[in-house]
Structure 1
Amino acid sequence: MMQQGTSDSVANERETVGGLSSLLLPEKRHPYYIVAPRYVRTSAGIKALHLLCHALNRLGERAYLITHPYYPPAYSTNPELNTPLLTQRILEFDFEAGLAPIVIYPETIPGNPFHAPFVVRYVLNFPGLLGGDATYGEDEFCITYSKHLAESVADSKLTLFIPVSDPRVFYPYPRVQRRGSCFYAGKYKYHHGGKLYEVTNNSVEITRDQPDSQSPDQIADLFRRSEVFYTYENTALAIEALLCECPVVFLPNPYLDQIIGIEEHGWDGIAWGTADSDIDRAKSTVYTAKENYRRFYAIFSKMLQEFIARTQDIADNRPYRESMIVPQIHASNFFLRLGETFEMGYSMLLNKGALETSKRGIRKILGR
């Protein structure tokens, strides 16, 4: 029979190990693979995907990005965020451990191209507007960015509104004299080929991916000094303008007939169209828009916890019999292997010299 002192000692030891487990011993949790384009600061949808990956990792989950379409890894992410890229080794480890990945596709990607065992469809814009399917499979777990988008998805399970704009960067100047206006027409102008309206003829255009595109600080300064911001589409810039107390005017067009997230942040500071009465109302209410926005940080945290609980439960019951294949990271990718070979050879040349590098190369070729 175990003595009382020994029993207490064992219990204390288990308690100590249990206390360390959250720091040193990783839990066997289903990972999250988030499929997203490279980070683009002016895109609310893309930022939401990257921030979701960041937030999941901050909460102790394992979350990785799959950059799609492919983009050089060094320029795919925001260095400030905890958004590691998925590798073949990680994918193989999860498969061998029987951890079915929870793969999050945005609505712009049709189907399930990477053959994920469990698909979460994150609808960030109106289905089919920017590509992708108009309807989704019954086995997909659909979530939406806003309540308004949820109305366009037959079986939406959850609304996960992510505050994507940083109020530490975008804030107003006190008592500044505002003059002129600025506008944004990224997808409307360059993707859809839309014609600009006369109202923006004398406005400063905000662009992205151009040699003279403004930096975040320059955009913030522009918002702080402008009397109004016009936009031809749904964009993260709208929220950033409101945070700088710059009224936002959405310009209705064939590609913009609704505002995403209007149920969440409300109409304060926002005008639909160029009617003087609507713009005057936006100007008079813009000062409350910032506080409306701030309250969503707490709401997002609560909804993210619910999302994690529900997706982990479903993944527990999803078989993972065949490994996913992600071509851009797969070992059979010729261009990936070629690049790695050149990189390893160049690194060895710098560290070991030409003679030793040649010897090792010959041994590798001969299989020795």
Structure 2
Amino acid sequence: MSRPLHAPPQRPYYIEAPAYRRTSAGIRVMHLLCHLLNRSGHDAWLYPTAATNPLWHTPILTPQLAQQHAQAGRQPITVYPEVIPGNPRHGGSVVRYLLNRPGLIGGDAEFPASDLIFAYTQHLLPAGENPEHVLFMPPIDSSIFHNRDNPHEEQRQGWLMYPGRHAAALEERQELAARCTLITSTWPASPQEMAEVLRRSERVFCFESTSIALEAVLCGCPATILPSPLFNGTPLGIEELGTHGLAFDDTPQALQDAIAGIPIAQEKYAAAESRFWDQLEVFIRDTQAMPYTPVAASRPEQSIAQKNAPIQHWLDQRQLGEAQSRLIAQRLEAHAPCAPRIDFIVLPGTDPSAARTTLHSLKAQGYPHVGIHIAPSTDVDALNALATQSAAQWLCFVQAGTKLTPAGITHLALELMDAPGCRAACADEIVHEPTGEISTLLRPDFNLDMLLSWPAGMARHWFFRRDAFLEAGGFDAAFAGAREFALLLRLIETGGLAGLGHVHEPLFIAAPRRLPTTRTKWPPSKGTCAPAATSRRSWTPACPAATACCTGTRRSPWCPSSWPRTSRPWRSAACAPSARRPATRTTKSCGRPARRAATTWCCSAMASPSCRRAGSTRCSTMRCGPRWASWAPSCCARTAPSSTRAWCWGCAARRSILSWAPM
């Protein structure tokens, strides 16, 4: 059959897909769609992503290439999976490829009428849509996952369990988990190793409709899908493959029926592979005929996307590769008894969808020893009750709507395994502003002065060892608005700074915590945790005139002048008074003597001459510049040569600490 040499160009496909991960069937399908469209003679690209399959033809779309297409009049077709909300790429022709129930694990539950809907299986296709718009793409490589010439067929032994996103299965079915070998996102490390394990095993237990169940059936191993919140009783692909080879309860009869159905499932899968090419032709035919309506991104959106690009690229590069995943899996397997169990307690918010976002993010983590609990309220007694009931070694309290980076918990767990004396630990964060802009919150190792000067950034999303949490009495109802801050201060009072750790990896993606800008009255109320803590440490409160010494937007009711000399962050003579005045000497600013002897001075006395000038509010360290002038109170702006690496309290409050003198 002859083909024309100069055929008219077809419209290109731009496909949105996360970084390639072998363990995610949905991600594999999106990457495979790009590969197969290219194999079919069409042009398809993936939007920039951190990882692709090197064995597939999945090129990355660049801005230069997109601009060339626009100049040539090639109207792209944008393909989104159902988990992507809205139209973030501003595509003029949008195709929604439903790989799961819309809104179940993210994205919108309904779509604009202009979007063309295709579904992975028949039962996912919304009512009223074209019944031909089913694109069932068998995601499993049957050249790897098969049971041909299996020498272990007659001597299979051992059970497997894959909890997947239902991490609570390990706690709910402890006896079953004790009998099974656990499949994780990092073990087995390759498809070949997974197929070999399945060809040796008797059965596998799952808790959702997952491709691992189908991989097991193709390898001759029956799969049992047990009830869970993630499984509604209907496996994906039931119209295309049926339920052959699957059991839905742990009974001998269900197991026998599943074993008897394995040959039928293997035949149906081979037929589905052949049928796919006809479905792909329908996909190409109908998408190429779509109308194109240009959607211009607004300038603020373009500006935000440009600002976020470097940080987003940095996050994408922190995805675990195959070699890293293999090494991590080996280490976790070798030190399985020491692997920390972490319980996340999700605090409810006003938006019901926010909790689903956090749950989906937690369930997508590759670390198996994670428990998830939804708090009935933010009441301190309810949170303490959940902590008491927990069987985990570590506790973390997160607000609904907070997301986690893909490998963050794994990094944290590896660090905690090597820190048996750790009582509490924090990690770095990504701050997601309401405008859509993101920024980094890269904390240093634990620093008491920073904790006191900026509790909103330094005292949230801590991981507390459960026994230390309970020994300290849990959260204090008197400080319900600063639960973690007050608890950290109590831990410091009882055990000092020992055992307070920091993991140098971004873990949470969360909205910033807003603090009131009103000045706190003096003397502080009994419900103010920091002055209460300082009084228990015999740190005398500052004089009334020193209440102007504040930490930017947080008007702190205590002053550095009342801290022990060893806790002050400045080390320069320019920041201290030229002649250190004894504490009994009366200062001109307040007319009252300081209350401690030989170790503290009034705040006004500590300020340099340039700081004491009337109306002086600019940080003179030349590290924050005039941008933060309004945040540096006049009595706190320090003057120091750049070589001293000093900083001012205004910088601390605005998260602009570039460096500080070591303690």
Give the TM-score normalised by structure 1: 0.76
> Which residue is 1:128 aligned to?
103
Q: Residue 182 of structure 1 aligns to a residue in which SS?
A: strand
- Correspondences of 1:24-173 after superposition (within 5 Å): 27-67=8-48, 70-71=49-50, 76-150=51-125, 152=126, 155=129, 158-172=133-147, 173=150
Q: Mind listing any 5+ residue stretches in structure 1 that lack a counterpart?
A: 1-15, 340-368
Amino acid at match of 1:259: P
Task: Report how far residue 332 of structure 1 moved.
Answer: 7.6
| Higher relative contact order, structure no. (Cα contacts within 8 Å, ≥ 6 residues apart) | 1
Residues 147, 78 of structure 1: CA spacing in aligned structure 2 closer, same or farther, 3 A cutoff?
same
Q: Residue 224 of structure 2 aligns to a residue in which SS?
A: strand
Aligned partners of 2:128, 2:102: CA distance in 1, in Å?
11
Task: Report how far residue 288 of structure 1 moved.
Answer: 2.5
Aligned partners of 1:205, 1:100: CA distance in 2, in Å?
47
> Which residue is 1:4 aligned to?
none
Residues 110, 163 of structure 1: CA spacing in aligned structure 2 closer, same or farther, 3 A cutoff?
same
Task: Report how far residue 214 of structure 1 moved.
Answer: 3.0
Amino acid at match of 2:292: R
Aligned partners of 2:101, 2:170: CA distance in 1, in Å?
19
Which of 277, 294, 297 aligns to 1:301? It is 277
Length, aligned pairs only: 306
Task: Report how far residue 194 of structure 1 moved.
Answer: 7.5
Residues 107, 19 of structure 1: CA spacing in aligned structure 2 closer, same or farther, 3 A cutoff?
closer
Q: Is contact 1:31-1:101 (8 Å) kept?
A: yes
Which of 171, 182, 204 aligns to 2:181? It is 204
CA RMSD between the two structures = 2.9
Task: Report how far residue 213 of structure 1 moved.
Answer: 4.6
C-alpha distance after superposition, 1:30-87 (max 9, x if no partner):
11111011111122211111111111000111101124xx53xxxx110111111111
Residue 251 of structure 1 pairs with residue 226 of structure 2: yes
Q: Residue 166 of structure 2 aligns to a residue in which SS?
A: helix
Q: Residue 277 of structure 1 aligns to a residue in which SS?
A: helix
> Which residue is 1:287 aligned to?
263
Residue 320 of structure 1 pairs with residue 320 of structure 2: no
> Which residue is 2:166 aligned to?
188
Aligned partners of 1:177, 1:226: CA distance in 2, in Å?
9
Which structure has the greater CA radius of gyration?
2
Aligned partners of 1:266, 1:193: CA distance in 2, in Å?
25
C-alpha distance after superposition, 1:124-172 (max 9, x if no partner):
011111111111111110110001212x555356110001101111122
Q: Residue 201 of structure 1 aligns to a residue in which SS?
A: helix
Task: Report how far residue 196 of structure 1 moved.
Answer: 4.4
Aligned partners of 1:97, 1:297: CA distance in 2, in Å?
36
Aligned partners of 1:21, 1:35: CA distance in 2, in Å?
30
Q: Is contact 2:97-2:117 (8 Å) kept?
A: yes
Task: Report how far residue 199 of structure 1 moved.
Answer: 2.8
Residues 156, 324 of structure 1: CA spacing in aligned structure 2 closer, same or farther, 3 A cutoff?
farther
Residues 322, 79 of structure 1: CA spacing in aligned structure 2 closer, same or farther, 3 A cutoff?
same
Task: Report how far residue 19 of structure 1 moved.
Answer: 4.3
Residues 233, 140 of structure 1: CA spacing in aligned structure 2 closer, same or farther, 3 A cutoff?
same
Aligned partners of 1:88, 1:234: CA distance in 2, in Å?
37
Task: Report how far residue 295 of structure 1 moved.
Answer: 0.8
C-alpha distance after superposition, 1:12-42 (max 9, x if no partner):
xxxx9x74336xxxx4211111101111112
Q: Residue 289 of structure 2 aligns to a residue in which SS?
A: helix
Amino acid at match of 2:93: F
> Which residue is 1:364 aligned to?
none
Aligned partners of 2:296, 2:35: CA distance in 1, in Å?
28
Amino acid at match of 2:5: L
Q: Residue 231 of structure 2 aligns to a residue in which SS?
A: coil
Aligned partners of 1:201, 1:134: CA distance in 2, in Å?
38
Q: Residue 227 of structure 2 aligns to a residue in which SS?
A: coil
Aligned partners of 2:70, 2:294: CA distance in 1, in Å?
7
Q: Residue 188 of structure 1 aligns to a residue in which SS?
A: coil
> Identity over the aligned pairs, expressed in percent?
37
* Range with bigger deviation, 197-206 or 41-50: 197-206
Amino acid at match of 1:59: S
Q: Is contact 1:35-1:106 (8 Å) kept?
A: yes
Aligned partners of 1:153, 1:118: CA distance in 2, in Å?
22
Task: Report how far residue 242 of structure 1 moved.
Answer: 1.1
Give the TM-score normalised by structure 2: 0.43
Residues 149, 19 of structure 1: CA spacing in aligned structure 2 closer, same or farther, 3 A cutoff?
closer
Aligned partners of 2:41, 2:297: CA distance in 1, in Å?
24
Q: Residue 295 of structure 1 aligns to a residue in which SS?
A: helix
C-alpha distance after superposition, 1:94-126 (max 9, x if no partner):
211222211111111111111111110011011
Aligned partners of 2:65, 2:156: CA distance in 1, in Å?
52
Aligned partners of 1:176, 1:252: CA distance in 2, in Å?
30
Q: Residue 288 of structure 1 aligns to a residue in which SS?
A: helix
Residue 278 of structure 1 pairs with residue 259 of structure 2: no
Task: Report how far residue 184 of structure 1 moved.
Answer: 1.1
